[in-house]
Amino acid sequence: MPELHLTTCFYLWQAPCCGKLYVCRLCHDAEENHQMDRFKVREVQCCECQTVQQAQQTCQQCHVQFGEYYCDICHLFDKDKKQYHCQDCGICRIGPKEKYFHCVKCNLCLAQDLRGNHKCVENVSRQNCPVCMEDIHTSRIGAHVLPCGHLLHKTCFDDMVRTGAYRCPLCMHSVWNMEDHWDQIDKEIAQSPMPTEYQGATVKIICNDCQAHCTVPFHVLGMKCSGCGSYNTAQEGGLIQHKVPKKWYLITLLE
């Protein structure tokens, strides 16, 4: 879930670190050589009457509303988007709240349809996105939960898919159901026999999807896991050549 940020401004934050006025912490951080701690913000200036006052939802002087939504913990103002403050995440989230739950182990708010239906990775949102290496937990960009439990920014996941990548950048597990693709590789391998000198050759592999170690037939188009049927595998060591029986080899030459 993305963190909530303001869209329309009727106020300016007074930065507790330097005393300067900014519309948001991101604008402050882009201009200054230090970062603003928004949780320490105590005062705002009304853009209508320029009154500097305690951070609150409505101007004490001209009564203009700074935002339909206001959080007195994060000091965030915005239009009403059914926001809520998650005490465990420590930040505001876009709701509605009843559609999300906080996974204690992942330490992240997730959609209700993922309750009991996702692989937990401890404090997963506190890690940076493995594609862009930017923060996920407080990002304005939504997070995509992979089957392995790791997180990517939704935009990074979409970019990855467009390039044809199908593995998690962290653990190499397939990021969606690949059964149709594996069936297609089966057909291509059946139609593309290896040259005689490689027929019967095997290789040791590890499967990135089920973690099985097995010895399987070698093929340049892919090595299929004998455990789960995945072609998302990695080769361990070189080819294991099997001697062709001399009688069979002579028959082959005659043919």
Residue 253 pLDDT? 44
Fill in the amino acid letter for 201: A
Instruction: Note whether 149 and 118 are within 8 A (CB).
Output: yes
Residue 180 pLDDT? 95
Residue 244 pLDDT? 52
Fill in the amino acid letter for 225: C
- Domains present along the chain, CATH in parentheses: 11-80 (no CATH), 85-163 (3.30.40), 190-241 (2.20.28.10)
Residue 255 pLDDT? 44
Residue 26 pLDDT? 86
Region of 75 on the Ramachandran plot (φ > 0 left; ψ -120 to 50 alpha; else beta): left
Phi then psi for residue 116, to 5 deg, are 70, 10
Residue 245 pLDDT? 53
- Number of Cβ within 10 Å of residue 42's Cβ equals 11
Region of 157 on the Ramachandran plot (φ > 0 left; ψ -120 to 50 alpha; else beta): alpha
Fill in the amino acid letter for 94: I
Express the helix, strand and coil content of the chain in percent, nearest 5 each. Answer: 20, 25, 55
For the chain, which residues score pLDDT lower than 70? 1-9, 242-255
Tens of pLDDT along 84-122?
999 999 999 988 999 999 999 999 899 899 998 888 999
Residue 150 pLDDT? 94
- What are residue 202's DSSP bridge partners? 217, 240
Tens of pLDDT along 179-206?
999 999 999 999 999 998 888 899 999 9
